[in-house]
Chain A
Amino acid sequence: MAGEHHVHAGFMPLFDSAVLVAAREFGFAAREGVELTLHRETSWANIRDRIAIGHFHLAHMLGPMPIACNLGLTPLASDTIVPFSLGLGGNCVTVSNAVWTGMAAHGALPDLDPARTGAALKALIGERARAGHDPLRFAVVHPHSGHKYELSYWLAACGIDPLGDIDILIVPPPFMADALAAGRIDGYCVGEPWNSASVAAGTGHIATVKAAIWKNSPEKVIGARKSWANENPDALAALLRALHHSARWCQDPANHGDLTAVMAQPGFLGQPAEVQMPILTGNLRLGGGAERHVKDFFLPFDKAANFPWKSHALWFYTQMVRWGQVEHSADNVAIARDCYRPDLYRAALKPLGVALPGANAKVEGALKTATPVGSAGASLVLGPDGFFDGEMFDPDRIDAYIERQGASSTVD
């Protein structure tokens, strides 16, 4: 039945495209009757454009990107839905040696503790401001990215205003380490392997990680052109089943050798296997000889990692409001909520009899430990999903959350 459905998918050369890549390279797509053609791209803008004009049916995307598209925040957009998440976690915040030395002088330890390193960074920023230095420059990969929002969340929770106390700019992931080494930026938030790259080069220190700022938090997703998904429900369902099998396979340490060998090819990630290991093992070198194991650093499958929680979409939306990218309105909330489609995920996977969350949204931050939850079919473990500052996000009380955080007034 191979080739029953033809699907064109775009991806960026980042490790978290692995589930999509493995779906093709290890035959999961073919087994579901999907002839999957992958197209490597050079920018998220290209991916967005080629989805909009119909070159791609779906693509590896930043979690907030489809929401931004549907909210009309991008120069070219088509209705995009999220029927599948490509994993949880995977990012770090890396700072230059000079910034790390300054932070260490204010009590930062190489333990990735967001509260401690954040407090030290705040002290350093205050010291620099008093001395008349320019604001520190931090880079993220895209204005509508988990990186931008988790970096800003971390800073704000530590009393640093990401819109005033520092500058945030955009740098493509593969250029981050070079920009840091050249002194064009003082720190960045990006996925692996671009943090370990600076540590290996001796030009940066990993200060904290996404998995500590918000445990088991959303990152990349599959964004699909809505009109295509509506017209081709069988193709989409078959592909989602293929991605499910692929994700399970990617999670299994027994397959990491095969996976990294394929990802190392120039047509995919193009980085040697050993560079890919930290994201898979969670064993990070932080710089200066320090090492740390991060639990649930990156999960391609476990903890319902592929379920497109509406609470994830809505949290991204609250951060767009918070940082002045969009105005808060009931209509906009509905657009964000409708963008993520757990119903499609559930319908596609139901025939497999696997564990599926019963709810479409959860209170983010409510699970303090890994918790078995009631689900259709087999057992399922979720969480922990806590924010480091102890806050909780209840998607049913979104107005209160936005008010508590205080929206920036600089809506474009």
Chain B
Amino acid sequence: MPHCTISRHAHNGVMESGTLSILVIDENRIRAAVIEAGLREAGHDRVTVIHDVTGIARRIAEVEPDVIVIDLENPNRDMLENMFQLSRAVKRPIAMFVDRSDKASIEAAVDAGVSAYIIDGLRQERVKPILDMAISRFNAFSRMARELEDMRSELKGHRLVDRAKRILMQSRGLSEEDAYALLRKTAMNQNRKISQIADSLITAAGLLGPTEED
């Protein structure tokens, strides 16, 4: 049985003319919303989003998806795959990615952290844009999450430096400018980030005695 090829003649009408039914399975609600918005912008109005896989068999039977988009972090992927392949209740969405020979697509999808299943017999050119969209939105989401994390750590760094400056001003009677210059010089000498020096200073000050921070 090469690659679970099951034709779906009953579905041909839908495949040729109607809109595709698309199921998005993603435990991350924000990312799922981003994907859903992208699909709707692209003119897909039959989009279902599932965050929790409990009782998913019944939902799939109701939705009868032509395409299933799933995040790769989902530990239930083995369960879902098995269900897609074996369930008699659902109309067997199977196969995976757009085309086995399209290695670039597969790589891009795995790198982005997304995978897709399609019902067999669906024309590739109809599905490729969906996967491409999912890939770019997954990447955009990761970028956003990374930027948010960077911003958070930058903000945290600023706060640390402010506290360290106050400690130096208080304990050594420095001006704010001199306190900052001292922190920066120490960081340069030790080849470390100024926020790391600030962090060490705050820790040390905490150990050495009560400060205004306590």
Contact = CB atoms under 8 A, between A and B. Distances in A.
Contacts of A172: 75-76, 78-79
B195 interface: no
B117 interface: yes
A44 B85 CA distance: 16
A78 to B, nearest CB: 10
B39 interface: no
Contact of A49 (B83, B94, B110): B110
A46 B72 contact: yes
Nearest to B57: A169
Nearest to A49: B110
A46 B109 CA distance: 12
B9 interface: no
Contacts of B162: none
B75 A174 contact: yes
A53 B107 contact: yes
A75 B1 contact: no
Contacts of B180: none
A314 B74 CA distance: 32
A53 B85 contact: no
A75 B78 contact: no
A171 B79 contact: yes
Contact of B4 (A45, A142, A184, A412): A412
Contact of B110 (A44, A50, A411): A50
Contact of A142 (B73, B82, B117): B82
A316 B158 CA distance: 60
A80 to B, nearest CB: 15
B2 A141 contact: no
Nearest to A62: B78
Nearest to A410: B86
Given A53-B103, A76-B96, A76-B97, A46 B82 contact: no
B117 A75 contact: yes
Interface in B147-200: none
A76 B100 CA distance: 7
Residue among A52, A53, A171, A172 with the highest chain B CB neighbour number at 10 A: A53
A50 B109 CA distance: 11
A412 B85 contact: yes
Interface residues of A, number: 28
Interface string B58-97: 0000000000000011111111011101100000001111
Interface in A147-190: 169-172, 174-175, 184
A184 B81 CA distance: 19
A102 to B, nearest CB: 25
A75 B106 contact: no
Interface size class of chain B, counting residues whose CB lies under 8 Å from the partner chain? 20 to 34
A42 B72 contact: yes
A45 B95 contact: no
Given A75-B94, A327-B1, A43 B103 contact: no
A213 interface: no
A19 B77 CA distance: 25
Interface in A364-412: 411-412
Interface in B1-42: 1-4
Contacts of A411: 1
A412 B84 CA distance: 12
Residue among B2, B76, B83, B94 with the highest chain A CB neighbour number at 10 A: B76
Contacts of A107: none
Contacts of B106: 49, 52-53, 76
Contacts of A184: 54
A75 B86 CA distance: 13
A168 to B, nearest CB: 10
A72 B1 contact: yes
Contact of A73 (B1, B54, B78): B1
Contact of A143 (B54, B86, B115, B117): B86
A75 B77 contact: no
Given A46-B72, A46-B77, A327-B1, A75 B95 contact: yes
B214 to A, nearest CB: 32
B78 A44 contact: yes
Nearest to A173: B75
A45 B81 contact: yes
A170 B78 contact: yes
Interface string B103-117: 100110010000101
A55 interface: yes
Residue among B3, B54, B83 with the highest chain A CB neighbour number at 10 A: B3
Given A49-B115, A53-B106, A412-B4, A75 B79 contact: no
A326 interface: yes
Given A53-B106, A76-B97, A76-B106, A326 B77 contact: no
Nearest to B70: A45
Residue among A55, A73, A76, A184 with the highest chain B CB neighbour number at 10 A: A76
Residue among A49, A142, A174, A175 with the highest chain B CB neighbour number at 10 A: A49
8 contacts: A42-B77, A53-B106, A75-B4, A75-B117, A142-B78, A169-B79, A172-B78, A411-B1
Given A43-B75, A412-B1, 13 more contacts: A43-B74, A46-B72, A53-B103, A53-B106, A53-B110, A72-B3, A75-B3, A75-B81, A76-B100, A142-B82, A172-B79, A184-B54, A412-B86
Interface of B: 1-4, 54, 72-79, 81-83, 85-86, 94-97, 100, 103, 106-107, 110, 115, 117
Sorted nearest first, the 3 A-B pairs with minimum C-beta distance are A75-B96, A43-B77, A170-B79
